[in-house]
């Protein structure tokens, strides 16, 4: 009987030790999960901000391209083909900048979507949505900048005739 009690006590001690190990492991895993969740939340916020900045950059490039278009149009009206060409070149450069900004915004939106796929918190879903909207805006501004660049090139071609 004493051997049975000793064996039971030993098994109980083993079970208690396993339980303590599981509890400790669970607490450590929870702490790592909370840390990871915080990092993903921050990543989502940063990628959203990045996408919005890229969209603003694309907008500025589009506006620069539009101003270059106006300069090319005005320069084409007088015999200053070199000035018109310079304005068209600037419009093309602004269009390229807008396209790069759109690509950057798309990349940031993809990163935000990845973060959302890792944890479906409301704030992350909203941030991902904002990043996607910024990406869409950047693409629209890039398309507008390309259009202005093409129009500026048309004015230069007309001025050369």
Residue-range domain boundaries for the chain: 2-160
Counting residues of the chain whose pLDDT is more than 90, the rounded percentage is: 4
Residue 24 pLDDT level (bands cut at 50, 70, 90)? very high
pLDDT of residue 120: 59
pLDDT of residue 50: 75
* Mean pLDDT for the stretch of residues 4-25: 89
Q: What's the rounded Cα separation, in Å, for the pair 49 and 138?
A: 13
The more confidently predicted of residues 42 and 13 is: 13
Q: What's the rounded Cα separation, in Å, for the pair 136 and 152?
A: 24
Residue 43 pLDDT level (bands cut at 50, 70, 90)? confident
pLDDT of residue 117: 64
Counting residues of the chain whose pLDDT is more than 70, the rounded percentage is: 79
Widest distance between CA atoms in the chain: 115
Q: Which of 76-80, 124-128, 143-147 has the highest mean pLDDT?
A: 143-147
pLDDT single digits (tens) 54-103: 777 777 777 777 777 777 777 766 666 677 677 777 777 777 777 777 77
Q: What is the pTM of this model?
A: 0.53
| Segments in the chain forming alpha helices (H) | 2-77, 81-118, 122-160
47 contacts 131 by C-beta, under 8 angstroms:
yes
44 contacts 128 by C-beta, under 8 angstroms:
yes
Mean pLDDT of the chain: 75
* Mean pLDDT for the stretch of residues 107-133: 68
């Amino acid at each position: 009987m004493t051997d049975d009690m000793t064996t039971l006590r030993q098994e109980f001690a083993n079970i208690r030790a396993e339980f303590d190990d599981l509890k400790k492991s669970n607490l450590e895993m929870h702490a790592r999960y909370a840390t990871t969740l915080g990092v993903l939340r921050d990543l989502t916020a940063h990628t959203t901000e990045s996408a919005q900045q890229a969209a603003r950059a694309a907008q500025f490039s589009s506006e620069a391209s539009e101003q270059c278009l106006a300069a090319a149009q005005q320069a084409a009206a007088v015999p200053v083909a070199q000035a018109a060409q310079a304005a068209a070149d600037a419009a093309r450069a602004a269009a390229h900048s807008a396209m790069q900004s759109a690509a950057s915004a798309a990349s940031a939106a993809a990163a935000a979507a990845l973060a959302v796929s890792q944890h479906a918190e409301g704030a992350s879903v909203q941030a991902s949505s904002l990043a996607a909207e910024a990406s869409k805006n950047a693409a629209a501004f890039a398309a507008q900048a390309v259009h202005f660049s093409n129009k500026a090139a048309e004015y230069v071609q007309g001025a050369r005739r």
